[in-house]
Structure 1
Amino acid sequence: MQQYNESLISWKQHKPSKDAGINNIQIPGQPQLMVWQNRDHEPTNYELSLTENLIAAFSSGAETLPEVVNALNDQGMLLEDGSVFTTESFEREMARLGY
């Protein structure tokens, strides 16, 4: 099974394009439905670890941004560059990963 949509890589930019991406996701009449339609790469170990740590943070009762950040830091989760999370760096990271 394909783990990501290779067609997304060629047009992914920091800002969304105003032009339609004809035939980038599906060719009319030839839809190739895949589980990971909106994923442009397989998750990295960092992304998988962050997901697991976020689930643990929310499961332990974290609800506000400072609580989530504190939970990640308490769990030993670090940013990819090895630094600890701050509310600002967490928001930047979510914006980067969530695009």
Structure 2
Amino acid sequence: MYAIFINGGKQYKVMVGQTIKLEKLKGNIGEKIKFNNVLLICNKNNLKIGQPLITGASITAELISHKRDKKIKIVKFHRRKHFHKVQGHRQFFTTMKIIKIKN
């Protein structure tokens, strides 16, 4: 059984017991969070597709940790103009464990 849901403008395909990284969410470690924006649920031969969302469906997940991703470099460069700029960025993210998918 798997489901697809929306969070933070992105779509995630999840299964029960899976650990995923989402953009930072508010909450304490160990807290359970419910996602109601479910687009699709597939349970073996039964497929439910929302238009655009499935009413009454939800995904329950447990918040495991808040961390920062590895650093990426943003480089801006104009040749022959004496312009060179390097900037770094580390994105905050939240690790979640999927507990339950409700139809």
Q: TM-score range by the shorter chain?
A: under 0.3
Higher helix share: 1
Higher strand share: 2
Between Structure 1 and Structure 2, whose CA radius of gyration is higher? 2
Larger RCO: 1 or 2 (CA < 8 Å, sep 6+): 2
Normalization by structure 1: what TM-score? 0.19
What TM-score comes out, normalization by structure 2 length?
Answer: 0.18
